[in-house]
Chains A and B, each alone.
Chain A
Amino acid sequence: MAFVELSGVTKSFHKGATTITPLDDVSLTIEQGEFFVLLGPSGSGKTTLLHLLAGIDPPDRGQVVVGGKDIATLRAGPLADWRAEHVGYVFQQHHLVPVLTAWENVELPLFLFPLSTAERTKRVGFALRAVGLDDRADHYPRQLSGGQEQRVAIARAIVADPPLLLADEPTGNLDHDSAQSVLDLLARLHHERGKTIVMVTHDPNAAARGTRMVHLDKGRLHEEARR
Chain B
Amino acid sequence: MNLRGSFRLMRRNLARRPARTVLTVAGVAAAIALFVLVESLAAGLDRAVSGSESARTLVVYQKNRYCPQTSFLSQSEAVRIAKIDGVESVLPVKVFLSNCRTSLDTVAFHGVPADLLFDARRIDLIAGDRATFLQRGDAALVGEAFAQRRGLDVGDAFRFNRIEVQVAGIFRSPEPIEENLIVTHLELLQRSGAVNKLGTVTEFEVKISDPARGRAIAAEIDALLATSAAATDTRAKAAFLESATADLREILRFGRLFGICCVAAVLALVANTVAMAVRERIGELAVMRTLGWRDGRLMRLLLAESCALALLGGALGTAAAWITITTTRLTLGVEGVLVGFALSPRLVATAGAVALLAGLLAAALPAWKATRAPIPAALRGA
- Where the two chains meet, the residues of A that have a C-beta atom closer than 8 Å to any C-beta of B are 47-48, 51, 54, 56-57, 76-77, 80-85, 87, 89, 91, 93, 95, 97-100, 104, 107-109, 111-112, 156, 160
Contact = CB atoms under 8 A, between A and B. Distances in A.
A89 B295 contact: no
17 contacts: A47-B376, A57-B375, A57-B376, A76-B294, A77-B296, A80-B289, A80-B293, A81-B292, A84-B291, A87-B292, A99-B12, A99-B16, A104-B8, A109-B291, A111-B5, A112-B1, A112-B293
Q: Which of A84, A89, A95: most chain B Cβ within 10 A?
A: A95
Contacts of A84: 291-293
Given A56-B376, A57-B374, A93-B382, A80 B287 contact: no
Contacts of A91: 287, 379
Interface residues of B, number: 27
A98 B288 CA distance: 13
B272 interface: no
Contact of B290 (A56, A77, A97, A107): A56
A57 B286 CA distance: 12
B112 to A, nearest CB: 68
Contacts of B288: 97, 108
Interface of B: 1-2, 5-6, 8-9, 12-13, 15-16, 283-284, 287-296, 374-376, 379, 382
Considering the complex of A and B, which 4 residue pairs feature the smallest CB-CB distances, nearest first? A84-B292, A111-B5, A99-B12, A56-B375
Given A91-B379, A95-B283, A95-B382, A108 B291 contact: yes
B284 A95 contact: yes
B14 to A, nearest CB: 10
Q: Which of B284, B290, B295: most chain A Cβ within 10 A?
A: B290
Contacts of B1: 111-112
A83 B290 CA distance: 7
A156 B291 contact: yes
A85 B379 contact: no
A109 B289 CA distance: 10
Contact of A54 (B284, B290, B295, B296): B290
A107 B284 contact: no
Contact of A89 (B15, B290, B374, B376): B290
A100 B13 CA distance: 9
